[in-house]
Amino acid sequence: MKKTQNNIAVATAVSGIIALGATLAATPALAGDKEKCYGVAKAGQNDCATKSSSCAGTSKTDNQGDAFLALPKGLCGKLAGGSLNPKM
């Protein structure tokens, strides 16, 4: 019985590590040379959570106003529909 409990504990720990790694990989780093550009992501291609969805890649429509992409600074203003602020 003790061995089964140890196996469950190890499996739980490994699952937690995998989930943490997936979360970190899914969230883009917004370094000093990046900015959030709202309203330009295609459906399912946003970089992070929105008010209406909880994960990256879950925007429902093209150019959803509260979905962003992490882009190099200065590029957002050059894109049609791009905004540094979320659109509701």
pLDDT digits (tens, 9 = 90+) for 9-53: 444 544 445 544 444 444 455 678 999 999 888 888 888 767 676
In whole angstroms, give the CA distance from residue 9 to residue 12: 5
Q: Is residue 85 part of a domain?
A: no
What does the CA dihedral 9, 10, 11, 13 come to, rounded to 10 degrees? 90
Q: Is residue 42 part of a domain?
A: yes
pLDDT at position 75, please? 94
Q: Is residue 87 part of a domain?
A: no
Q: Is residue 83 part of a domain?
A: no
Q: Is residue 84 part of a domain?
A: no
Q: Is residue 16 part of a domain?
A: yes
Q: Mean pLDDT, to the nearest integer, of 47-66? A: 78
Number of domains in the chain: 1
What does pTM read for this prediction? 0.59
Q: The domain containing residue 39 runs over which residues?
A: 2-78
